Amino acid sequence: MAFPKIALASLLTLALICTSSFADECKEASPSKDIVDTAVSAGSFKTLVAAVTAADLVDTLKSEGPFTVFAPTDEAFAALPEGTVASLLKPENKDKLVAILTYHVVPGKVMAKDAMKLKEAKSVEGSTIDIQVKDGAVMIDEAKVVKADIVTSNGVIHVIDKVIMP
């Protein structure tokens, strides 16, 4: 039995709409921007991006990963004692800067719901980061996660309100 032309056209249109909707969902599920590009486009991580650049970690954070990054905002860096950021960005302090930045990174993709079940995580720097839930908020050392689960093509970013130190 043959479909009438109008029914076939309607089915094809419906299939095209469903396929397009599904494609949009897939695009959201696997973002095209990596950790660095996501941080740059957010606009609130200028200091972090400058530090990652000074530490020569851009290529690493653009690589396949996956990585979990606890990303301090510009306000978090501004809360450090005066002159700290400027000092860390100097070439002679690159090793210290690398240590601080890699302390903010955990290998693998750890979503917030999974992080809440952990007590600690080993950072790329090598030290252990304490994780706890305090008053309903996830705490990474003494920093509060203010926005979680920003999914990127090579991991996930959790925004924190303080710079954490190894």
Mean pLDDT of the chain: 84
Question: 46-54 and 35-42 are packed helices; what angle lies between their axes, rounded to 10 degrees?
Answer: 140
pLDDT, position 96: 97
With a pLDDT cut of 70, the percent of the chain lying above it is 82
Q: For 106-135, how does the pLDDT look when each residue is reduced to its tens digit (9 = 90+)?
A: 999 999 999 888 999 999 999 999 999 988
15 CB-near residues (< 8 Å, 6+ apart): none
Q: Where are the domains of the chain?
A: 1-29, 31-160
31-160: CATH topology: FAS1 domain (2.30.180)
List, in order, residues 6 or more apart from 18 with CB less than 8 Å away: none
Q: For 25-41, how does the pLDDT look when each residue is reduced to its tens digit (9 = 90+)?
A: 333 445 789 999 999 99
Inter-helix orientation angle 94-103/46-54, to 10°: 130
Residue 5: how many CB atoms within 10 A of its CB? 8
Alpha-carbon span 108 to 121, nearest angstrom: 11
Instruction: Report d(CA 24, CA 44) in Å as an integer.
Output: 26
Query: pTM to 2 decimals?
Result: 0.80
Beta bridge partner(s), residue 151? 156
- Model confidence band, residue 67 (pLDDT cutoffs 50, 70, 90): very high
